[in-house]
Amino acid sequence: MTAKYEDGHRVAVARELTAAAGVPLRDRYGFAASDQDVLNVVRIVFREPDDPKAGELIGLGNALGEHEIAMGYDEPTDEEYELAIVRALRPLAEQRRQAAARGLL
C-alpha cells in the first residue's frame, strides 16, 4: 500500500470516527478541516499512547499553528473536545499498532 493511499485512508476513517463520536474535525470557519490538518492529528494519536498527553499535543498544535482544528465557527477546541478526538481515534491507532506487531505492515 502506498503512503499516499494509506494517508488518504487514515484521513477518511478519522473523519468518520470523529464525526460518529460527535467531535467532527472542523476548521475555524466551521468547515471540514483540511486533509493535512486531519493527518497531523491522526499522527499525534499514533505517536502518543497517553490519551491526555495526545489531547494536549492537539491543543498545542492548534496554538502553534501546526494544524487548525476547531469545535465550530470561530470556536477553538477545549481540553474535553481534544480528549474526545483522541478517544475516537484510539481504535485506529491500536489497530495499526497490532498489525505492525504481527508483521502485517
Strand boundaries in the chain, DSSP class E: 70-72, 75-76
pLDDT given for residue 21 in this prediction = 97
Residue 2 has pLDDT above 80, yes or no: no
With bands split at pLDDT 50, 70 and 90, how would you rate the model's confidence at 1? low
Distance (Å, rounded) from C-alpha 19 to C-alpha 83?
14
* Span 25-47, pLDDT tens digits: 999 999 999 999 999 999 999 99
CA 72-57-59 angle, to 5 degrees, is: 25
Which residue is associated with the grid cell 504481527? 102
pTM: 0.91
Distance (Å, rounded) from C-alpha 2 to C-alpha 76?
34
